[in-house]
């Protein structure tokens, strides 16, 4: 694992920290240096609420090594309430129950362990909504 | 005798939150595999909660704390301490609390440490948080009891070693949904259950875990708390005791003079097993979900090694709005995906590819 990178990106992974353009209001995740809409470099941090709907999904059976211990698992595209589409893993939902348009919410889970001695990477995943 | 513990400044619970993973392993699965179902009529719990493949004490603490924050409705950055009590911290060295604090956005102006005292580590964190806020060192502190407990395959503890817990935000009495009346901690050196460094599974003293450990220490903390506060069991609307199985909490309640009506809420072990450091704090969340203003509630933990912390709280009218702001403990108990022993064995890393 690239520990400096993990450390640098922790607020993105833990809190869906993106950017809000101060000139046109455009929201981006992951955060971009230049606003894709108006090319402005004026922005502030924006923390996405972490609720959205499933735009598409698929289930991975042959996983890369670091995800082998959780396979099979589902990944997909999620339309956040704020209107930004992101990629994430799903959790706590059997593949056959995952549906396009399903309301989902962010939770923090282990993404992978870097072997038995390395650090544990935590980050967002999405599950069917249970919170009030 | 020693006096009841009470901080100089009046404090209480301003937010609480539960978390229980969605997966359940029926006790019959374990019984069938190891004993051909021979003990099917005497199972210590019906089923137990099992953490998902991507869950641990850190991720579970995060969700419980988020629920506590929803109920507390404070500026989270005013929380100045976070203590997580667990016997299953994901790292041997590296605090769980810093990850949880970073996710909650309450770094860097905060104190953090992980606590360990077998099943009493969660209430130990509540004691520390009460002292911290009660002394005026900070206005708010976050105390969490959370575990993903492991039992050796085939061992009696495998039926019950479960996952879950609760988070409490302790703050000034004026803002509390339940005000602390007093607490009492009772500890002796008792080798009833332990796990040496680098060992994956704990050892336990079988029958030694009952009378000299669980019953003696809870009796000690509760009796002295009630004497010190000049209260009788009948003064309480509800009581929660540590629950390593279904039987012990019912037996200790009866011995101490509490009725089955007083322990009907918060007795969760039959449905989710023993959540160790999470068990009595989680039971209290269920009691609070059903409580009314003016209710007096008792919580008594037990941790092997051994000790017990007992607390008396009086619920305020702030409970009414607070309850609705986060999922109820019964919502977590109600959601359930049953798994079989083979999935359990793989997920809990009892077998590896
Ligand atoms: Zn822009």
Domain end call among A47, A62, A77: A47
- What is the domain count for chain A? 2
Task: State how far the alpha carbon of B160 is from the alpha carbons of B92, B150, B156, B197, in Å.
Answer: 24, 9, 8, 22
Characterize the bridge pairing of strands B79-85 and B140-148. Answer: parallel
For each of the domains in chain B, give its residue range(s) and CATH number, in order of start: 11-177+335-343 (3.40.47.10), 178-321 (3.40.47.10)
Q: Compute the distance between CA of residue A101 and CA of residue A124 in angstroms, rounded to an integer.
A: 19
Q: Cα–Cα distance between B60 and B40 in angstroms, integer? A: 31
Residue A95 belongs to domain spanning: 49-132
Q: Do A120 and B90 lie within an 8 Å CB cutoff?
A: yes
* Residue A100 in tokens: 């396009």
Chain B residue nearest residue A94, CA to CA:
B337
pLDDT above 80 (res A132): no
CA B251, B252, B258, B263 torsion-angle sign = negative
The verdict on A16 and A37 lying in the same domain is yes
> In this predicted model, what pLDDT tens digit does every residue of B10-66 receive, in sequence order?
999 999 999 999 999 999 999 999 999 999 889 999 999 999 999 999 999 999 999
Asked if A55 and A43 sit in the same domain, the reply is no
A37 and A88 housed in the same domain: no
CATH number at residue A74: 2.40.50.840
Whether residue A61 sits in one domain with residue A13: no
* pTM of the predicted model as reported, rounded to 2 decimal places: 0.97
B205 pLDDT more than 80: no
Q: Give the 3-state secondary structure of residue A28.
A: strand
Residues A101, A66, single domain; the answer is yes
Give me the mean pLDDT over the A76-97 stretch.
Answer: 97
Nearest to B239 by CA among B250, B229, B247: B250
To 10 degrees, the CA torsion angle through B133, B137, B141, B147?
-100
Res A131 pLDDT > 80: no
Q: Is B119 a catalytic residue?
A: yes
Q: Measured between alpha carbons, how far is B352 from A116 in angstroms, rounded to an integer?
A: 13
Min CA distance, A79 vs chain B (Å)?
22
Q: Do B103 and A122 touch (CB under 8 A)?
A: yes
Residues 187-216 of B with CB under 8 A from A: none
| Of the candidates B274, B304, B282, the residue with the CA atom closest to the CA atom of residue B118 | B304
Q: A42 with A55, same domain?
A: no
Same domain, A42 and A105: no
- Residue B207 in this model has a pLDDT that exceeds 70: no
* Nearest CB neighbour to B56, from listed A10, A69, A110: A110
The verdict on A82 and A66 lying in the same domain is yes
> Which of B56-70, B205-219, B277-291, B310-324 is predicted least confidently?
B205-219
């Amino acid at each position: 694992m690239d520990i400096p990178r993990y450390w640098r990106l922790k607020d993105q992974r833990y809190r869906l920290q993106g950017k809000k353009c101060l000139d046109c209001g455009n929201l981006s995740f992951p955060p971009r240096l230049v606003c894709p809409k108006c090319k402005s470099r004026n922005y502030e941090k924006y923390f996405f609420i972490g609720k959205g709907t499933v735009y598409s999904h698929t289930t991975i059976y042959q996983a890369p090594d670091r995800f082998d211990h959780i396979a099979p698992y589902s990944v997909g595209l999620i339309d956040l309430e704020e209107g930004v589409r992101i990629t994430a893993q799903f959790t706590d939902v059997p593949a056959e129950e995952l549906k396009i348009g399903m309301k989902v919410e962010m939770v923090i889970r282990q993404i992978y362990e870097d072997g038995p001695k390395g650090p544990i990477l935590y980050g967002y995943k999405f599950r069917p909504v249970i919170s009030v | 005798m020693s006096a009841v513990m009470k901080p100089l400044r009046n404090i209480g619970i301003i937010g609480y939150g539960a978390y229980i993973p969605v997966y359940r392993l029926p006790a019959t699965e374990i019984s069938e595999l190891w004993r051909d179902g021979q003990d099917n009529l005497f199972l210590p719990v019906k089923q137990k909660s099992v953490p998902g493949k991507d869950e641990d004490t850190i991720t579970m603490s995060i969700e419980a704390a988020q629920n506590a924050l929803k109920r507390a409705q404070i500026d989270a950055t005013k929380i100045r301490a976070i203590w997580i009590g667990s016997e299953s911290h994901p790292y041997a060295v590296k605090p769980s609390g810093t990850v949880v604090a970073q996710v909650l956005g309450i770094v860097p102006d905060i104190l953090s440490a992980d606590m360990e005292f077998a099943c009493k580590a969660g209430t130990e964190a509540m004691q520390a948080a009460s002292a911290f806020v009660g002394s005026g060192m900070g206005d708010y502190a976050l105390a969490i009891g959370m575990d993903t407990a492991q039992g050796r395959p085939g061992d009696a503890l495998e039926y019950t070693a479960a996952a879950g817990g609760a988070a409490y935000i302790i703050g000034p009495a004026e803002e509390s949904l339940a005000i602390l009346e007093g607490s009492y901690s009772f500890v002796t050196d008792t080798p009833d259950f332990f796990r040496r460094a680098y060992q994956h599974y704990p050892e336990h003293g079988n029958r030694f875990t009952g009378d000299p450990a669980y019953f003696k220490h809870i009796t000690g903390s509760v009796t002295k708390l009630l004497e010190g506060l000049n209260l009788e069991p009948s003064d309480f609307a509800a009581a929660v005791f540590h629950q390593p199985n279904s039987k012990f909490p019912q037996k200790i309640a009866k011995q101490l003079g509490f009725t089955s009506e007083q322990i009907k809420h918060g007795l969760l072990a039959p449905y989710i097993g023993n959540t160790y450091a999470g068990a009595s704090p989680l039971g209290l969340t269920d009691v609070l979900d059903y409580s009314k203003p003016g209710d007096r509630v008792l919580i008594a933990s037990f941790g092997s090694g051994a000790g017990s912390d007992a607390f008396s709280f009086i619920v305020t009218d702030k409970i009414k709005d607070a309850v609705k702001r986060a999922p109820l403990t019964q919502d977590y108990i109600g959601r359930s995906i049953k798994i079989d022993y083979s999935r359990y064995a793989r997920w809990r890393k009892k077998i590896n590819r």
